Amino acid sequence: MNTKWHLLWALVIYVIQPQFACAQSAEPGETGRFRINQIGYYPKGEKKAVILANPGQKFSVIDESQRVVFQGNLSTGPMSRLSGEKLSYADFTDFTGSGTFRLSVEDLDYSAPFQIAGEVFEPALKAAVKGFYYLRMSTPLLAQNAGQWSRPMAHPDTALLFDPSSGHHEGFYSSPGGWYDAGDYNKYTLNGAFSVGIMLALAEEYPRALPDGSLNIPESNNGESDLLDELRYELQWLLTMQDADGGCFHKITTKKFEGFVMPHQALNQRYVVGKGTAATLNFAACMAQAYRVYQSVNPDFAAHCLVAARNAWDWDRRHPDVVFRNPAGISTGEYGDRDFTDERQWAAAELWITTHDPQFLAYIEARKTPIEFRVGSNWQWFAGNLGIFSLLRHPGGLPESLRSKLEHSLTRVADDLLLSMDSLDYRQPVRTFHWGSNSDELDAAMILAQAYRLNGNKSYLDAVGEINDYIFGKNATGYSFLTGYGSHPPMHIHHRQSGSDSIKDPVPGLLAGGPNQFKQDVRSGAVYPDKASPMQCYADQQASYASNEICLNWNAPLVYVLGFLEASVR
């Protein structure tokens, strides 16, 4: 080609290019109009996106060489205007090719690239479990496992003092190990046990998820699933939280939250605080469940868990109504709960499955609504569901009438969730956005996943996929909420290590709490987007502990949902 033609081509490319260049510079969440699953979609799964454009316009799926591989028309969707936006919907489920793609709409820019591939969420699943490894305390995180997020040993927790609320007054206590609860450096029995229980459900249902060697944690290549290795790190700590009388201490904590310093620089005295019914019942439940899961790989450990579970249950029989409240002088996370019926349902279910002792069935039969869905503070009400999920997984020996009551309760709640999703802007199940709203979305997905496991109705499976899409970017903020994953992830989570390690990227694999319309952190300096609708009340700022903290009981249902999808969408 001679020079004249070269110049002409350069001119043509210059004229065409700006459209594409504009795509590259679009900032999802700020100006991005493409609310997609930023990781991608399964070739055989549903593929939906929400676009801020007019219904009726054409949309295209474009491959890496800018070829149009699929076209469709944007449709009007649910009538809801909860998001305050004018939305249209792209459905490209019929496109089943694999590769890297973008969406584009006539006269608009392009979406960020996303993948369509089998096992497309495997990296995110691994990251979400590895996120728990990054929260380990009482151990150094070595560079060979933690890369740039390695850190020295911190919080040995071998010389704790007793707060009188623990029932003890003198001497030191040792309770090493476990995971930090969240962005703070404390550990709470109730929430740790609840989160472990959610992930033990995945281990029971899909034992091949996270096989040995998949996570590069210190125990990798020991011949056991890395998921079980990671969960045992927390279970071993939890065992230290049981007092001699069978009851469980509520938490290990400083008097007030530490500042934004690295773990090994957070040196304030830590205390054993409280002992209560909710913590003890969650402990009983997850230990009875652990017995089943670890029995074949580590029988001694499993046997220890079952003894601990029974002792905790017996303590509950003697102390069925001990509410935990923060005692004077302690201002860290309370995890206060007054209604123990759901925790008791969970514990009774796990103990019944493990022992088949008939005394436990009465506590399950007593509950009118065995499955329930609410929003806000899932650690207060979701535990009962975990017990029913386990019973439906192990129905052998259940009285027929009880079994059909549980199944009916599950499908009724799942059907209600489908109706909500059909009516809401981003086809998500939640309309009120509380602290940790992402976990409300994911808890709904867990219910739908169980309903799918029960009767194979594909609408339930598709709904789980759509909730997963919401978490990874098909939402009114444009963020993919898992650190390190997606084209627009959170960068400034409320997490003390991430905020003080001088590393640009936050610790990966941690799920932000998500939109919170109650904005309890405004007085601490969080600034939310102007005129934000409830589902846009999210601030990617360190100050925003009410929308941008990370927490065990939010990551755990994400692990379950990703593990379920990886095993189910084929």
> Under the rule (CB under 6 A), what is the footprint of ligand 9MR?
182-184, 257, 333, 524, 545, 549
151 binds ligand G3I (CB under 6 A): no
Query: Which range touches ligand G3I (CB under 6 A), out of 272-280, 296-304, 445-453, 543-551?
Result: 543-551
**Measuring CA to CA, which residue among 250, 253, 381, 377 is closest to residue 322?**
250
27 catalytic per annotation = no
111 residue type, one letter? S
Task: List Cα–Cα distances, 393 to 205, 286, 405, in angstroms.
Answer: 8, 15, 15
Task: Determine whether 494 is an active site residue.
Answer: yes
Distance CA(212)–CA(220), nearest Å, equals: 6
Closest approach of Cβ 545 to ligand 9MR, in Å? 4
Please give the residues from 405 up to 464 whose contact with ligand G3I meets the rule CB under 6 A: 434-436
The residue count for binding ligand G3I (CB under 6 A) is 15
- In the residue annotation, 501 being an active-site residue is answered as no
Please, which residue, 258 or 350, has the CB nearer to ligand 9MR?
258
**Residue 376 touches which member of ligand 9MR, ligand G3I, none, C-beta under 5-8 Å by kind:** ligand G3I
| CA dist., res. 204 & res. 409, Å (int) | 22
Instruction: Answer whether 510's CB lies under 8 Å from 555's CB.
Output: yes
With CB under 5 to 8 Å by kind, the binding choice for 459 among ligand G3I, ligand 9MR, none is none
99 three-class SS:
strand
CB of 463 closer than 8 Å to CB of 421:
yes
CB of 276 to ligand G3I, least distance (A): 15
The catalytic position among 494, 495, 521, 566 is: 494
Tokens 């219904």 found at = 55
Q: Nearest distance from residue 182's CB to ligand G3I, in Å?
A: 3
Interaction between residue 337 and ligand G3I (CB under 6 A)? no
x/- letters, 342..371, toward ligand G3I (CB under 6 A): ------------------------------
CA distance 141 to 375: 35
Nearer to ligand 9MR, 384 or 514 (CB): 514
* Binding partner at 436 among ligand G3I, ligand 9MR, none, C-beta below 5 to 8 Å by kind: ligand G3I
Closest CA to 190 of 449, 494, 508, 551: 551
Q: Choose the contact partner of 524 out of ligand G3I, ligand 9MR, none; CB within 5 to 8 A by kind.
A: ligand 9MR
CB 418 within 8 A of CB 459: yes
**Of the two residues 306 and 430, which places its CB atom closer to ligand G3I in the complex?**
430
End-to-end CA distance of the chain: 49
Is residue 181 near ligand G3I by the rule CB under 6 A?
yes
- The secondary element (H helix, E strand) that includes residue 73 is strand 68-73
Binder of residue 377, out of ligand 9MR, ligand G3I, none (CB less than 5 to 8 A by kind) = ligand G3I
* Among 45, 177, 218, 333, interactor with ligand G3I by CB under 6 A: 333
Tokens of 309: 């579970």
User: Looking at beta carbons, which residue is closest to ligand G3I?
Assistant: 333
Tokens 């305390």 sit at which residue?
137
Angle (CA) 303-307-310 rounded to 5° is 140
- 184 is a catalytic site residue: yes
CB 83 within 8 A of CB 38: no
Q: Are 414 and 389 in contact (CB under 8 A)?
A: no
Q: Which of 184, 342 has the CB closer to ligand 9MR?
A: 184
CA distance 328 to 278: 20
Alpha-carbon span 438 to 490, nearest angstrom: 13
549 binds ligand G3I (CB under 6 A): yes
Chain positions contacting ligand G3I, by CB under 6 A = 181-182, 184, 333-334, 376-377, 434-436, 518, 520, 545, 549, 551
Q: Catalytic residue positions?
A: 184, 494, 540, 549
